[in-house]
Structure 1
Amino acid sequence: MRVDLKDEFKDLPTNSIAENLIRFRKLNNLTQKELSLLTGINKSSISKYERGELFPSRKNSIILADFFRLDTKYFHDDYF
């Protein structure tokens, strides 16, 4: 069962995409592999997102935001 994080974090400033993904994944007690299986995003990509080596595509940022029930601002930056 996923933790609904929307209310708990709605007023916090967004950190880096990597920090946000690690925080929300761990709050839901998920491994990278489990998150990959649940979202359909390649585990290698999730690992690279968390290391800051790769930024999620718009599509994947939407998938992650929907999964964690958050705004896409936590996983997407138009600059990148």
Structure 2
Amino acid sequence: MSKVKIELDHNAVAAFLCSAPVENMVKGYADRAVQRLGTGHKAYTITWTRYPKMRRKVAIVKAKTKKAQRANLRDNTLLKAVLGK
């Protein structure tokens, strides 16, 4: 077998992770989770930064009412909705 060496262009990968198509994709996943959950939840996207050059778009799904928060604590509704169970 021959050895293959793959070298990534880190700047291009970073630019892709902050692009509009990636933002739309993660927003779509979050919106589907909110549809499964029903009322009392919200989804939004942010640009997450851990290190100065490590930026990416992420989606966040939160329980915005006390009733939804209690249901999540009791039944893990957010986890089940995100995983599709």
TM-score, structure 2 as length reference: 0.23
Larger relative strand fraction:
2
TM-score, structure 1 as length reference: 0.23
Larger Rg: 2
